[in-house]
């Protein structure tokens, strides 16, 4: 376990080494947070940004901030991989980002007014299931983001022959 955390930290040091990298990390974090707030606002009639923030619970704020940072970290690591690889974004990178985002959106449903957007997508029984088990969705979203971070960190630190990325531990 300690070895994996060390790889994630080492990969983060490589992916976030300049002020510009940190800037894009913070922009992505803010973007994910705003997306988590704005999706219910856009899909719920009569809702606005500040009203929505006022009715959210403290736990939901913590969840949204955590998932925002995790997803932004995934994007930062994949930006670094793409920069080193000098290639287009792969389907795996897009898939890991979209799946973490989708489960994060389901996990951040925190108020009764937000459920109307779920009703439109999943119907009544699907919405009730998601609302009843939203903390499981939150755990899955966090786990998915951590898995994506671990996979990207493994590529950065350990190298990846399939992606043609050299290990950062080996001299250039």
pTM, two decimal places = 0.72
Total tally of structural domains belonging to the chain: 1
| 163, part of any domain | no
What pLDDT sits at residue 2?
A: 67
| 8, part of any domain | yes
Which helix (H) or strand (E) segment holds residue 144: the answer is helix 134-158
Residue 20 has pLDDT above 90, yes or no: yes
Residue 27 has pLDDT above 90, yes or no: yes
| 114, part of any domain | yes
What pLDDT sits at residue 83?
A: 81
Residue 53 has pLDDT above 90, yes or no: no
Residue 131 has pLDDT above 50, yes or no: yes
| 31, part of any domain | yes
Residue 140 has pLDDT above 60, yes or no: yes
| 167, part of any domain | no
Burial of 145 from C-beta contacts in 10 A (0-12 / 13-18 / 19+) = buried
Residue 150 has pLDDT above 80, yes or no: yes
Q: Render pLDDT for 28-48 as a digit per residue (tens, 0 to 9).
A: 999 988 887 777 777 666 777
Q: Are 78 and 89 in contact (CB under 8 A)?
A: yes
Range of the domain at 88: 2-158
């Amino acid at each position: 376990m300690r070895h994996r955390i060390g790889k994630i930290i080492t990969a983060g040091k490589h992916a976030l080494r300049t002020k510009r990298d940190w800037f894009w990390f913070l922009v992505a974090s803010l973007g994910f947070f705003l997306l988590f707030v704005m999706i219910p606002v856009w899909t719920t009639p009569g809702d606005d940004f500040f009203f929505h923030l006022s009715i959210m619970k403290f736990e939901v704020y913590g969840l949204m901030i955590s998932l925002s940072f995790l997803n932004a970290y995934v994007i930062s690591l994949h930006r670094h991989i793409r920069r080193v690889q000098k290639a287009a974004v792969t389907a795996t990178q897009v898939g890991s980002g979209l799946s973490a985002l989708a489960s994060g959106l389901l996990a951040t449903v925190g108020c009764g007014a937000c459920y109307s957007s779920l009703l439109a997508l999943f119907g009544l029984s699907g919405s009730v299931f998601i609302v009843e088990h939203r903390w499981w969705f939150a755990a899955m979203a966090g786990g998915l983001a951590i898995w994506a971070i671990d996979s990207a960190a493994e590529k950065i630190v350990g190298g990846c022959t399939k992606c043609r990325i050299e290990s950062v531990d080996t001299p250039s």
